[in-house]
Chain A
């Protein structure tokens, strides 16, 4: 009965470096979402995957951000050439498709760009 897991829990990187954040959704969940939460802010939608459909990338802030998902399992969010404004907590969530939006969230990865 594992929930959504994310790794690493914390990541400190230097400006200009690339980072990869990983999300393991709940087994059987067909939809997977990435959100970003800047300090003291609400969650901003980044991207979601649903089965074999094309992902909704409408929330990605720039072309430095990309994400992949292998089948209905693991997803990786990649940020290239990180900037200080990328510092945030990146949250992953998963759900059954069409489950009326009830998403289960992971603990997040706190990214700090120096």
Chain B
């Protein structure tokens, strides 16, 4: 069975602070994909990143960066210099490698990030 744990239910920061959202996963699959999605107040899920289990390189995209560590089964997400527009619920998700077939996503319970002025 697969499981994703986001232990931080809610985080509040002041604008321009850096913030890290934690994600720990469990899977018996040897190959899998990890994701982060953003859910702003409007409700629609926005895809942020997908990471293959074989690729442990960290990734940076603008103010966003992701730290994948297979040894600790973690896939943490850092927002640098946070902005009010970053306020949303962030979900970490996991799926098995589904080449040729569809595969469901297993989601964590989400972390609500509140960025204030």
Specify which of B47, B52, B102 lies most central, judged by the most chain A CB atoms within 10 Å of its CB: B102
CB nearest to B10 among chain A residues: A40
> Which of chain B's residues has its CB closest to A101's CB?
B95
- Determine if B68 is an interface residue (Cβ-Cβ < 8 Å): no
B64 within 8 A of A: no
Contacts of A56 in B (CB 8 A): 104
Give the shortest distance, in Å, between B5 (CB) and chain A (any CB): 10
- Name A50's closest neighbour in chain B (CB-CB): B102
- The tally of residues in B whose CB lies under 8 Å from a CB in A reads 29
The answer for the CA separation of A46 and B97 in the assembled complex, in Å, is 19
A97 within 8 A of B: yes
Q: Chain B's nearest CB lies how many Å from the CB of A33? A: 6
A-B contact count (CB 8 A): 72
CB <8 Å contact, A101 and B50:
yes
Chain B residues touching A, majority SS? loop
Selecting from A61-69, A73-81, A104-112, the interface stretch reads: A104-112
* Known contacts A100-B33, A101-B50, A107-B44; A42 and B109 CB within 8 A of each other: yes
Q: Which 3 pairs across A and B sit closest by C-beta, in order of nearness?
A: A31-B102, A101-B95, A105-B45
Task: Judge whether B102 and A48 touch: CB under 8 Å.
Answer: yes
In the bound assembly, the distance between CA atoms of A48 and B44 in angstroms comes to: 19
A97-B100 in contact given A42-B110, A43-B107, A91-B45 (Cβ < 8 Å) = yes
User: B108: which of A42, A50, A108 is its contact (CB, 8 Å)?
Assistant: A42
> Count of A residues near B, CB < 8 Å?
29
Known contacts A33-B104, A42-B107, A59-B104: A100-B43 contact under CB 8 Å: no
**Interface contact A48-B104, CB-CB below 8 Å:** yes
Q: How far is the CA of A43 from the CA of B50 in the complex (A)?
A: 17
B105 contacts A101, CB within 8 Å? yes
Chain A's closest residue to B104 (CB) is A45
CA distance A93 to B98 in the complex (A): 16
